[in-house]
């Protein structure tokens, strides 16, 4: 797909596919080693960004697996996210279950620290965390990540689920658009404005 703005490919379709398969195998091996062939996990994923990664990853996890979704919105400045609101809650119980949270990117960690507190209050057996991208350099709330695809820097990313103003999630690769400027504390593609 041709993008109407300059960009740099950060992770190609093949690089992503290879890493996702590795993660799926590692996750499968971990649970099987610990719990045997009947190992089970409930994957909890945050809409919307993680759905592309999740769809690929889960096909490489060979376990008794179910999937549930949450949608959340945060408010307040990006670096404080003073509050997180649950727009859509899980549809099932996670009581006494092995839960794995699947995210596309962990940035400040503020969203996930809220979600972790919330999910822990439902008494799951345990919670593991898997993220495709880990922007550790931006972390404010410490998060222990069990599985990470790639560690990344401060660039802005789009593609493979990640959006710019809700667009470009459908790219098969992850890239960094050039010509991004700050306007009122928000990133704006200087050449194109609102897509």
163 contacts ligand PRP (rule: CB under 6 A): yes
What is the total count of residues that contact ligand PRP (CB under 6 A)?
Answer: 16
Nearer to ligand PRP, 37 or 142 (CB): 142
Contacts 24+ apart (CB under 8 A), 54-61: 54/102, 56/16, 56/17, 56/20, 57/20, 57/23, 57/24, 57/27, 57/102, 57/130, 58/24, 59/24, 60/20, 60/21, 60/23, 60/24, 60/25, 60/28, 61/24, 61/27, 61/28
Select the residue interacting with ligand PRP from 27, 110, 175, 189 (CB under 6 A). Answer: 110
149 contacts ligand PRP (rule: CB under 6 A): no
CA 57 to chain centre: 11
The residues annotated as belonging to the active site are: 107
Q: Count Cβ atoms below 10 Å from residue 112 Cβ, excluding itself.
A: 22
Nearer to ligand PRP, 21 or 74 (CB): 74
Residue closest to 45 by CA, chosen among 161, 123, 163, 151: 161
Select the residue interacting with ligand PRP from 98, 102, 111, 158 (CB under 6 A). Answer: 111
Nearer to ligand PRP, 56 or 163 (CB): 163
177 contacts ligand PRP (rule: CB under 6 A): no
134 contacts ligand PRP (rule: CB under 6 A): no
Select the residue interacting with ligand PRP from 109, 149, 159, 177 (CB under 6 A). Answer: 109
Q: C-beta of 26: minimal distance to ligand PRP in Å?
A: 21
Nearer to ligand PRP, 21 or 113 (CB): 113
Q: Report CA Rg, the chain.
A: 17
Rounded distance between C-alpha atoms, residue 143 and residue 148, angstroms: 12
Stretch that binds ligand PRP, among 43-51, 53-61, 122-130, 173-181 (CB under 6 A): 43-51
Tokens of 142: 């410490």
- C-beta of residue 116 within 8 angstroms of C-beta of residue 100: no
Residues making contact with ligand PRP (CB under 6 A): 46, 48-50, 81, 103-112, 163
């Amino acid at each position: 797909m041709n993008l109407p703005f300059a960009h740099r490919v950060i992770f190609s379709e093949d690089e992503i596919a290879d890493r996702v398969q590795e993660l799926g195998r590692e996750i499968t091996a971990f649970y099987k080693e610990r719990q045997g062939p009947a190992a089970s996990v409930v994957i909890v994923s945050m809409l919307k960004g993680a759905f592309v990664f999740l769809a690929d990853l889960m096909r490489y996890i060979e376990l008794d697996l179910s999937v549930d979704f949450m949608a959340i919105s945060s408010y307040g400045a990006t670096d404080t996210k003073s509050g997180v609101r649950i727009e859509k809650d899980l549809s099932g119980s996670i009581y006494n279950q092995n839960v794995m949270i699947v995210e596309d990117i962990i940035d400040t960690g503020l969203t996930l620290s809220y979600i972790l507190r919330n999910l822990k209050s439902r008494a799951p057996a345990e919670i593991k965390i898997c993220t495709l991208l880990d922007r550790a350099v931006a972390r404010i709330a410490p998060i222990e990540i069990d599985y990470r695809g790639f560690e990344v820097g401060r660039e802005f990313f789009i593609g493979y689920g990640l959006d710019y103003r809700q667009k470009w999630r459908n790219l098969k690769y992850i890239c960094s658009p050039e010509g991004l400027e700050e306007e009122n504390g928000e990133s704006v593609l200087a050449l194109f404005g609102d897509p």
